[in-house]
Amino acid sequence: MTECASGSCSGGAAPAQDEMDLKVTANLDNIRFKLLVMSGKGGVGKSTVAAYLALGLAAQGYQVGLLDVDLHGPSIPRMLGLKDHARVDEEQQFIHPLTLDHGLKALSVEMLLPKKDSSVIWRGPLKIGVIKQFLGNVAWGNLDFLVIDSPPGTGDEPLTIAQTINDAMAVVVTTPQEIALADVRKSIDFCYQMELPILGVVENMSGLTCPHCHQPIELLGKGGGKALAERFGLELLGQIPWDPRLVEASDKGRPLDLSKLEDGAAGPYRDMVGKVLGHTAERKA
């Protein structure tokens, strides 16, 4: 990798960067929709939303990839129970994602890092280079959707995606609480600045799925994401309730099978997938 250590020098590194960007564009050419799942705040459920959106789209017969670009705390492998390393074709320089149920292809940067060391300090330019290499070298094949899970905030990861994938769209995740909403506004601003179209907002931990009868329970605070979407003229793509089974499922690395959930509990996921399909179809037309 040709990186300028200062990160601010564009001179020597520029051609290599351009080449890399071109490679990324060419490699992602066979993917119709690239969705960047982002949020201003940590722990609001980006990875959860990204995973279940990808699973839900795949269950409907779409070709879907799920990419985790969180170098600091990748959680997709843990949530989906991915233990294998990605297969790397040294000769072709291609990285092959893992294939899961319904043909969902998944890949995390963690699967390529030499050792699982969360204390690794990634300097900005190095991190950007790693993500670009990653975007340019994964053999996704033809996909309808690539769902990209990013770390919270507006740092190098979402920045790199927004700058490198010029037809990406953002899915902004928030919780109903006002404190998270203040942060999520920053994400929305970021999208405006980067000219990254926002597909819509997902309100996560919105109300509660009753642990006994699995019917939705409305809680105080539900609707914050809806209000946010209305204020910014954005689509509300979904309201996913807090469901204790989700925590257990992700801890065990065995995601909930949406087709086996009771109607009340499965409804919000179905709605989210349906809205994403509806709004992407509109955009393509």
Ligand X SMILES: Nc1ncnc2c1ncn2[C@@H]1O[C@H](COP(=O)(O)OP(=O)(O)OP(=O)(O)O)[C@@H](O)[C@H]1O
Stretch of 69-77, 90-98, 184-192, 222-230 lying at the interface with ligand X (CB under 6 A): 69-77
Given 42, 103, 124, 211, the residue binding ligand X (CB under 6 A): 42
Binding residues (CB under 5 A) for Zn ion: these are 210, 212-213
Residue 37: which of 174, 221, 231 has the closest Cα? 174
Residues 153 and 148: their CA atoms lie apart, in Å, by 14
**Closer CB to ligand X, 156 or 243, in the complex:** 243
* 48 near ligand X, rule: CB under 6 A: yes
Based on the number of CB atoms within 10 Å of its own CB, is 44 exposed (0-12), middle (13-18) or buried (19 or more)? buried
Q: Which is nearer to Mg ion, 37 or 168 (CB)?
A: 37
Sign of the torsion angle spanned by Cα atoms 224, 230, 232, 238: positive
Q: Minimum Å distance from CB 100 to Mg ion?
A: 18
Asked if residue 166 lies in contact with residue 29, where contact means CB atoms within 8 angstroms, the answer is no
Query: How many other β-carbons are positioned within 10 Å of the β-carbon of residue 73?
Result: 13
Quick note: the x/- pattern for ligand X over 211-250, rule CB under 6 A, is: -----------------------------x-xx--xx--x
Nearer to ligand X, 63 or 78 (CB): 78
Listed in sequence order, the residues at least 6 apart from 41 whose beta carbon sits closer than 8 Å to its beta carbon are 152, 153, 174, 175, 179, 180, 183, 184
Structure tokens at 78: 């843990």
Please choose which of ligand X, Zn ion, Mg ion, none residue 45 contacts, taking the beta carbon within 5 to 8 angstroms, the exact cut-off set by kind.
ligand X
The least CB distance from residue 63 to ligand X, in Å, is 23
Q: Which of residues 42-61 bind Mg ion (CB under 5 A)?
A: 46-47
Residues 66 to 125: which contact Mg ion by CB under 5 A?
75
Rg of the chain on CA atoms, in Å: 18
Binding site for ligand X (CB under 6 A): 39, 42-48, 70, 73, 75, 151-152, 204-205, 240, 242-243, 246-247, 250
